[in-house]
Structure 1
């Protein structure tokens, strides 16, 4: 068995984290959920873009069924997976799921909590929970319908339909489809694009995006007021104007 359920590599403006239980297709157990909380604490204290992938050719084949079978009411109310995924969703900087192989059940819900999803053609994404007598309680019942049309979300949740890479791309669930050997490089390419933006502008834009409609436009004006006073705004706009003048 893998000694470390989540391998974390800090690289300047980004963190590369790899689910590391390949012997069980990276099934998410209590230790993995705890490691995800630790990862979130790191990224809350030192905001960076997150690239999240899985070892051994799979993203995550769901929650660990051996543990899940033993859980009762009190375990469900603790939100073992849902609390970790929700914390990941609220990270200051963007998160990018790199999906290959299985992304099922809790694994799919972990990907839904990320801001972007890149995948390979051989990925299989879905929520088979109802076939096991439970529901997709770590975000599937509400995040999925925010990402794909309602009819497709219900089909995945109520019939257990799995999407391959092409279907996920067509539905808008996946942002880009790449070959397995190019998946990590594609993630870094997305992180490079984010790194070209002003970090505080990215953080405030992400925060504003996820607020309820009732918070707008007040929150946008407030965030803009903060950004208007930054040296980076002045420098970037001056460079833009001077560059346009040289054309």
Structure 2
């Protein structure tokens, strides 16, 4: 499948998605979000892919929503677009495979929200991250008011959203918005290193761990703990659990089959 706004390649068992609207600093419009959702569906069905990287190149991960596209939208068109954004980002958040955001340049507005839908975020030095929507007379709508507060706490979320002021990569690291900052020239190598490490883990356990974390963020602690208990017990019905523990006792590297 060919895409107008995306590039996609496979490096072994890693899927690499590159947002590809360089003239517009990868600003998010309906075509990009629809294509991204379609590609995520394709990856979900591809058993060869064990981990995913989403990037935007060296100048911009995504500079936000496409303002020219949104300018004259009425409330119905606006809701249709933001519903599409939610649908696509939710697909990424719930993909049963780990997703790494490799962020460089600008990650503003919808770009920051797209990155927050990923499981792990690493940023290049010099990256600018923020939610500047307040300066446009709107607010974050693609998950920013919800995911940002869950990631960095209400205080930082309100400061970033209320002021619209961006932060640099080191500040993003200090508040937990990203987990690592690396030189720009090392960004993709680091992302691939992490992706290859994750791709070598037990696929079912990885999927269940992601499901537990996601579920736990929306329920009370006792419900989350019970879900974890049942999910953990389920893993003892898998061949991967037997292989992992047997390999540990035999002091060798496990060979997981995803079964």
Task: Pick the TM interval, shorter chain.
Answer: over 0.9
1:167 aligns with 2:175: no
In 2: Cα distance, 1:80 partner to 1:219 partner: 29
Q: Secondary structure at the match of 1:33?
A: helix
Deviations 1:124-163 (A, max 9, x none): 0001101101110001111001111321110110101111
In 2: Cα distance, 1:236 partner to 1:115 partner: 24
Moved over 6 A (4+): none
Select 1:192's aligned residue among 193, 196, 208. 196
Q: Secondary structure at the match of 2:129?
A: strand
Select 2:140's aligned residue among 125, 136, 142. 136
**Matched-pair contact (CA < 8 Å) for 2:58–2:104:** no
**Matched-pair contact (CA < 8 Å) for 2:51–2:196:** no
What's 2:257 paired with?
none
5+ residue gaps, structure 1: none
How far the C-alpha of 1:56 sits from its partner, in A, is 4.8
What is the aligned residue count? 242
What's 2:126 paired with?
122
| Within-5 A mapping of 1:1-247 | 4-46=4-46, 48-78=50-80, 79-211=83-215, 212-213=219-220, 215-243=223-251
In 1: Cα distance, 2:6 partner to 2:31 partner: 9
Normalised to the residue count of structure 1, the TM-score between the two structures is 0.93
Deviations 1:5-52 (A, max 9, x none): 111113342210000011111111111001111112112222631100
**Matched-pair contact (CA < 8 Å) for 1:25–1:56:** no
Q: Secondary structure at the match of 1:59?
A: strand
Normalised to the residue count of structure 2, the TM-score between the two structures is 0.89
**Matched-pair contact (CA < 8 Å) for 2:55–2:101:** yes
User: How well do the aligned residues superpose, as a CA RMSD in angstroms?
Assistant: 1.6
In 1: Cα distance, 2:84 partner to 2:250 partner: 52
